[in-house]
Amino acid sequence: MNQQATVDTFTQHLNLSAPKVEELLTLSATELPQQEEFQTELGSLDISFLRETLPTAKSVLENQLPAFYTWLKQELQIKRVPDSPHHTTTWVANFLNNQESIQHLVELHRPVPPVALEQAIPRLVSLFNNVNDTQIRQQWQSAVALLCVVLAADAREQLRQSFALIEDLNI
């Protein structure tokens, strides 16, 4: 697994150093959102602007997610992939309107193998690379990256738990 690509994605799109990202990724999905650094990043997002530019983000996701989903199925062998971008775009809209939670996002992604989840993050964040408006592109990449930090932390926690279980069984 190329964990460095994930860390690089986070350092590129969030105001966090690589050591700080690595430190945050050692936390659980419930601990991480409580951290000052996470809260600072969350506070730096312009939620009003994200709501205002949601139509652009929906368009990007509707156009880019089908190929991303195909890549997840074919390259990463992920079995449970949405049939269309509708679920994702609806979730994003609901999240911006305080009708979804980060914890629910984590629960939705728990069935995804941790290694595959982490491999998918740089590609997911890059879906916004072709947005011409710099502010829209940067805000949405930061928002997606911030949500993905929690997913990556949870994926790593799941791996640690799996390894701990294996070690316990071998004793």
Segment 31-48, tens digit of pLDDT: 999 999 999 999 999 999
Phi, then psi, of 101 in degrees rounded to 5: -125, 160
Longest dimension (CA), the chain: 56
Q: Give, for 153, the enclosing helix (H) or strand (E).
A: helix 134-170
Q: Which residues have a Cβ under 8 Å from the Cβ of 93 and sit 6 or more positions away? A: 54, 58
The span from the CA of 171 to the CA of 166, in Å, is 9
Kindly report, residue by residue over 138-168, the tens digit of the pLDDT. Answer: 999 999 999 999 999 999 998 888 766 566 6
Residues whose CB falls within 8 Å of the CB of residue 37, separated by 6 or more in sequence, listed in order: 16, 20, 24
pTM of the model: 0.91
Residues of the chain below pLDDT 50? none
- Domain boundaries defined on the chain: 3-165
